[in-house]
Amino acid sequence: MRPKVSIKEIVRGLHSLVAGMRITLGQFFKPTVTVHYPHESLKMAPRFRGHIELVRDEKTGKPLCFACKLCEKACPSDCITVEGVKLEGEKRKSVSEYKLDFTKCSLCGSCVEACKSNAIRFSKDYNLATTSKEELIMDLFKRLEADQAKTGQPDTKDTREAGK
């Protein structure tokens, strides 16, 4: 059984198809909005919530974290483990191990908010895909140290000390 279609409806239907096609064709002459990702990428927003990283003290070059474990308590997914040691001649503890299990992290940002001394911040890293689980369990303290070695921290430290 075929529904009866009036000529008016056919004309209206055809018109709707042509009108839609006009928009599609118009799109040809508009600039592309996509970015060819691996070759070019967009800048991350300043407030981008990536995984966390430790912040270094500008003056001493050491991490600001003193292992108070507030972030550990605030974390809903239980993915942070902080260990600190008390060094000779220092008032506060200093961090010796900061383990982040990124496989569990839900990127909620509670840890950064809980930190009273601004010792952790969000990293801008987003290419974190990996084939092994172990790579996502990272020690942020070691990472910071490795980073220090790579960027040649002693140089900057020297200039700072000279500036003082």
**Would you tell me which residues interact with another protein (CB under 8 A)?**
12-14, 16-17, 19-20, 23-24, 33, 45-49, 74-76, 106-110, 113, 122
Please report how close the Cβ of residue 33 comes to another protein at its closest, in angstroms: 6
Asked if residues 104 and 95 have their Cβ atoms less than 8 Å apart, the reply is no
Q: With contact defined as beta carbons under 8 Å apart, do 119 and 93 qualify?
A: no
Alpha helices for 4-152 (secondary structure H): 7-27, 70-74, 110-114, 140-151
**CB of residue 127 to another protein, shortest distance in Å:** 16
The residue among 70 and 97 lying less far from another protein, judged by its C-beta, is 70
Nearer to another protein, 50 or 61 (CB): 50
Q: How far is the CB of 129 from another protein (least distance, A)?
A: 17
Residue 135, CA distances (Å) to 39, 103, 124, 128 in order: 25, 9, 17, 9
Cβ distance to another protein smaller for residue 106 or 156: 106
Nearer to another protein, 76 or 152 (CB): 76
Least spacing, CB of residue 156 vs another protein, in Å: 28
Distance CA 131, CA 112 (A): 28
Closer of 116 and 164 to another protein (Cβ): 116
Q: How many CB atoms lie within 10 A of CB 44?
A: 13
CA dihedral 149, 155, 160, 161 (to 10 degrees): 100
Q: How far is the CB of 48 from another protein (least distance, A)?
A: 6
